[in-house]
Amino acid sequence: MTYFEGEKRLGKDRRNGYIVGGLGLLLLLTAVLSLRLGRYPIPLKDLLGILLSRLYPLERFWPDQAETVLLNIRFPRIILACLVGCCLSAAGAAYQGVFQNPMAAPDILGASAGAAFGAALAILNHGSNFAITVSAFFFSLITVSLAYFISKRVKGKSILGLILAGIMIGSLFSAATSFIKLIADPTDQLPAITYWLMGSLAGARLGDIGFAFIPMTVGLIPLLLIRWRMNVLTMGDDEAKTMGIDANRIRFIVIICSTLITAASVSVSGMVGWVGLVIPHVARKIVGNNYTHLMPASLLCGAGFLLLVDNVSRSLLTTEIPLGILTAFIGAPFFIYLITRRGESF
């Protein structure tokens, strides 16, 4: 690498660093504005007073209803939207690098299908909200584990075998979910299953954040720490071997961590599609293909995107629109724009 090439790369890294910092600031501002939005608008003065009162003792000048809405309803929902958005987009970016496939998404190994079956099974058995979340998380992990162990017995390319195993296992669990919908009580159980499958953050509680935060953190931290190694994986196993990197080991870690954050996300939000597929490509357009900056940019873009979609979901109509419907309406046309944009390669 020449001196001028090094200077150019350093300047690009610095620029991407500023972009990531700007995305973080934009997400923070969006979150603050989101706290004010809703059918019960909260003035900025009251909002700041309520938030500061959690840190310093202040004389109350805001109504009790505003504090209840902000802390018990709006705040947990906004935090959960950010967590789910950043995890789904991070998992999508990681899978696209590991499988060297731009169409890879967090549900490529059947995690979403397993979560759907687990939630439907819990609803069929009159489970509580917590039981539904736990069941969805548990079966999501089981689905990917089955796909992984089956792929080990597939001859040929291990990556292709894993993808095919994930598709097959996901199809089986999707069929099982359809059977549960067939035998479910059409008066209450079937509508509950259908609504869960469409995805929503309505009724988000601090307990949901507590349940999902630990597996999300356990999965996200390793992905951020080894993100530079994903650049080597995109070059192929032979290139990774020449650089002294065990590609299979890194791939296994990435799959485990991505599965963990996907399972945690789907278990608390339901089926929310397109985030993990579209947002990593948006981040690539902003910071390039280097996972050193692509991974944090994907996290921030995913969190901001799902937060904005959730704001539309709870504010556009008198009846809340499921997240899965909105992400499809927004994500699909935007993805078509990305892949058909003149002069851009997909």
Q: What is the pLDDT of residue 147?
A: 92
**Gyration radius (Cα) of the chain, Å:** 21
Q: CA quadruple 7, 23, 217, 119: dihedral positive or negative?
A: negative
pLDDT at residue 188 greater than cutoff 70? yes
Q: What is the pLDDT of residue 36?
A: 85
Q: What is the pLDDT of residue 6?
A: 47
The helix/strand/coil state of 27 is: helix
Residues 6+ apart with CB under 8 A from 296: 20, 224
316 part of a folded domain = yes
Higher model confidence: residue 186 or residue 345? 186
Contact 208, 133 (CB under 8 A): yes
Average pLDDT over residues 164-187: 94
Structural domains counted in the chain = 1
115 part of a folded domain = yes
53 part of a folded domain = no
Q: Which residue range forms the structural domain that includes residue 322?
A: 81-340
**174: pLDDT confidence band, cut at 50, 70 and 90?**
very high
Contact 287, 65 (CB under 8 A): no
Spatial distance between the Cα atoms of 227 and 177, rounded to a whole number of angstroms? 35
Q: What is the pLDDT of residue 154?
A: 78
- Residue 321's CATH number: 1.10.3470.10
Q: In a 10 Å sphere around its CB, with 0-12 CB exposed, 13-18 middle and 19+ buried, how is residue 27 labelled?
A: buried
238 part of a folded domain = yes
Estimate to the nearest angstrom the gap between the alpha carbon of 268 and the chain centroid. 11
With tokens 């190994």, the residue in question is: 109
52 part of a folded domain = no
43 part of a folded domain = no
* 300-342 pLDDT tens trace: 999 999 999 999 998 887 788 899 899 988 888 877 877 777 5
Q: What is the pLDDT of residue 3?
A: 41
* 191-208 pLDDT tens trace: 999 999 999 998 888 888
Q: What is the pLDDT of residue 11?
A: 65
97 part of a folded domain = yes
346 part of a folded domain = no
Spatial distance between the Cα atoms of 152 and 146, rounded to a whole number of angstroms? 10
Q: In a 10 Å sphere around its CB, with 0-12 CB exposed, 13-18 middle and 19+ buried, how is residue 151 labelled?
A: buried
Cα separations in angstroms, 59 against 50, 70, 219: 10, 18, 41
pTM of the model: 0.90
Higher model confidence: residue 308 or residue 46? 308
Average pLDDT over residues 8-30: 85
Higher model confidence: residue 247 or residue 313? 313
* 145-160 pLDDT tens trace: 999 899 888 776 677 8
- Reported as type and span, the H/E element at residue 56 is none
